[in-house]
Structure 1
Amino acid sequence: MPTSIPLASRATSAAPATPDRHRGDLILFMAIAFGVSWASWFTAIGLGGSATKAPTVLPYLFGAFGPLMGALVIRVRRARRGEPAPEHVVRFRRTTLLWAPLLLALASATVLSAALLAHAAGGPALSWDDAKEVMRDAGGPAAFLISMVISGPLSEEPGWRGTAYPRMRASMGRFRVGLVLGVIWAVWHLPLFFIDGTVQHELGLKSPSGVLFAVSTIPMAMLTACAYERAGVIASIAVHFAVNTTMVLLDVKAPVTQAMIIGVQAIAAVLLLTANRPTNKPTTSIPSLTDHGSR
């Protein structure tokens, strides 16, 4: 007669992720994010032409989704291994619906206030004429806003913040993660300086504006990390969207304005990182597609 096995002994619990597995996930994520993006963008460079016109536009746009593709691979890999989400992952919560718009407004305000301060210091005046032209070229306000959500915030944040950030936090402090991830983010953008029709190409890699763009990824990484810790990947998408959109509408290119934005965002990020405690304690969550992207 076969011996019955107690139910408790047959149940297996998910093994916690180890530092080595976090490191392995990070290496795989970075390989996919950089591999997909750089392969696509170097293809666009080889094709020549503008990033807004065929055939260059296709690999240019596809390259932006490298971080998202890396995040999806890591998510599937973790699920197959039966591992719980990393300790510092922040899931979707009901409070996200409140925090996301507040953080969006704050992020936009950092750009607007810095632009006003730069103008007071002798920088260019603010004008909405360029904003109207940008929205008209994009096919109207709705098309412009949709493109600004997809290109950058949605294609990047589930990767940089939703996947890389919590795994880096397992062995680094919040400020160090912001610095390291900001530098990695700047390096990831480098091929865009060689694609005609991109903002980076217009700024120029060796120009003051190009250097300031690279430096600006560090306070941006910290600012989006603050949003992620407060309300998850949706909030970091909102902050990324707000900063990008406000800068495009205000046509921010002058070095004095860029420098002022870096200063204002750095101050805001330091204050938020210092004052806010991570909100990654278990709480009641609402299942959603975005929850999968933030693990």
Structure 2
Amino acid sequence: MRTAGNTWNGGIGAPVGVFLTVAFLAAGALGTAQPATGIPPEVVQLTQFGPALGVGLAALLWPGRVRALLAGALRGRGAGGGALLLTAPLIIALSAGAYALLTGDARFTRPDTLEHPFALIVVAQMIGACGEEIGWRCFLQPLLRTRFGPLATSVTVGAIWGVWHVGVFAEDPVYAAAFLVGAIAMSVVMGRALEGTRAGGLPLAGGFHALINLGMLLLMDEESGAVLPMVLFGAACLAAAVLWTWRNARTAPAARIRTIPEHVR
């Protein structure tokens, strides 16, 4: 019989603490350093690599455990991958369409009018999104999933992810609240899509994340601090999360909480 101390479930506090400390501090340091690098934030924000650095330190301290958590994240294809990637443009279409109906302003930024080549932005956004998602969805999500259920895990990761975007809390409180709702809802969508398999988790989560960012760049006005676009975006994400939760409840049996094999403890 295993005791709590003999399983991965019994020792998640230290890896979680190390990862989150580095993810937050490194993001702040990278954001401060970005102007000196000359890398335009429109292309990629260096703060996105804070979670990847957190995973890197955790891998140095607990190599076997991190290797087990990331197993399959770069390979294969998750069962819900296509639906997950389709959900991102649907969220953008719903929020941008609602904004156009309410304001009469169908906002659209042509890719060729951006200051930097759109192809470069697409590639950089995917890299940056993967820099985040290797931490949030490929490390922290499966780590917490060994202890909690799928919905509780996704909500927890989403809340931490939202708070990690500390700059958003300098905006209007309604804007910040809508952003937090959107972050939690997107975490639920990704958690539901990837539940039960880690195959291809990084490109799928990174692809979803990058598509959201690109859609907001071209079709939304949330970067100005305008409240309505962010509220509509948060509502669209919430609707997607409800649909994914309902879909999983109907089509998939509850996945068992995973443990890490003895040989990687």
Q: Give the TM-score of the pair, scaled to structure 1.
A: 0.68
Q: Please state if 1:119 is matched with 2:100.
A: yes
Q: Please state if 1:169 is matched with 2:145.
A: yes
CA distance in 2, matches of 1:105, 1:83: 30
SS across alignment from 2:62: helix
CA distance in 2, matches of 1:280, 1:233: 21
CA distance in 2, matches of 1:114, 1:250: 9
Q: 1:69 to 1:75 in 2, by over 3 A?
A: same
- Report what 1:19 is aligned to: 9
User: Over residues 214-248 of structure 1, what are the superposed CA-to-partner deviations in whole Å (9 max), with x where a residue is unaligned?
Assistant: 33211122122233336522211111111111111
Extract unaligned runs of 5+ from structure 1: 1-14, 45-50, 194-199, 283-295
Q: 1:252 to 1:78 in 2, by over 3 A?
A: same
Q: Please state if 1:150 is matched with 2:127.
A: yes
CA distance in 2, matches of 1:141, 1:175: 36
- Report what 2:183 is aligned to: 217
CA distance in 1, matches of 2:98, 2:246: 25
1:16 and 1:83 in contact (8 A); partners too: no
Q: Please state if 1:31 is matched with 2:21.
A: yes
User: Over residues 172-222 of structure 1, what are the superposed CA-to-partner deviations in whole Å (9 max), with x where a residue is unaligned?
Assistant: 2222222222221122111x45xxxxxx8xxx5235334422332111221
Q: 1:95 to 1:149 in 2, by over 3 A?
A: closer
SS across alignment from 2:36: coil
Q: 1:58 to 1:259 in 2, by over 3 A?
A: closer
Q: 2:77 aligns with which of 95, 103, 124?
A: 95
1:89 and 1:162 in contact (8 A); partners too: no
**Superposed, which structure 2 residues align to 1:224-263 within 5 Å?**
224-229=190-195, 231-253=200-222, 254-263=226-235
Extract unaligned runs of 5+ from structure 2: 259-265
User: Over residues 238-272 of structure 1, what are the superposed CA-to-partner deviations in whole Å (9 max), with x where a residue is unaligned?
Assistant: 11111111111103324333222222222222332
Q: 1:281 to 1:181 in 2, by over 3 A?
A: closer
CA distance in 1, matches of 2:235, 2:15: 33
1:183 and 1:218 in contact (8 A); partners too: yes
Measure how far apart 1:92 and its partner are.
4.9
Q: 1:124 to 1:257 in 2, by over 3 A?
A: farther
Q: Please state if 1:136 is matched with 2:114.
A: yes
Aligned-residue sequence identity (percent) comes to 21
1:118 and 1:256 in contact (8 A); partners too: yes
Q: 1:113 to 1:240 in 2, by over 3 A?
A: same
- Report what 1:291 is aligned to: none
- Report what 1:75 is aligned to: 59
* Structure with larger Rg: 1
**Superposed, which structure 2 residues align to 1:172-183 within 5 Å?**
172-183=148-159
SS across alignment from 1:85: helix
**Superposed, which structure 2 residues align to 1:32-71 within 5 Å?**
32-41=22-31, 43-44=32-33, 53-54=35-36, 61-71=45-55
Q: 1:71 to 1:23 in 2, by over 3 A?
A: same
RMSD of equivalent CA atoms? 3.4
- Report what 1:196 is aligned to: none
SS across alignment from 2:147: coil
Q: Give the TM-score of the pair, scaled to structure 2.
A: 0.75
CA distance in 1, matches of 2:140, 2:65: 19
Counterpart residue type for residue 127 of structure 1? R
2:99 and 2:106 in contact (8 A); partners too: no
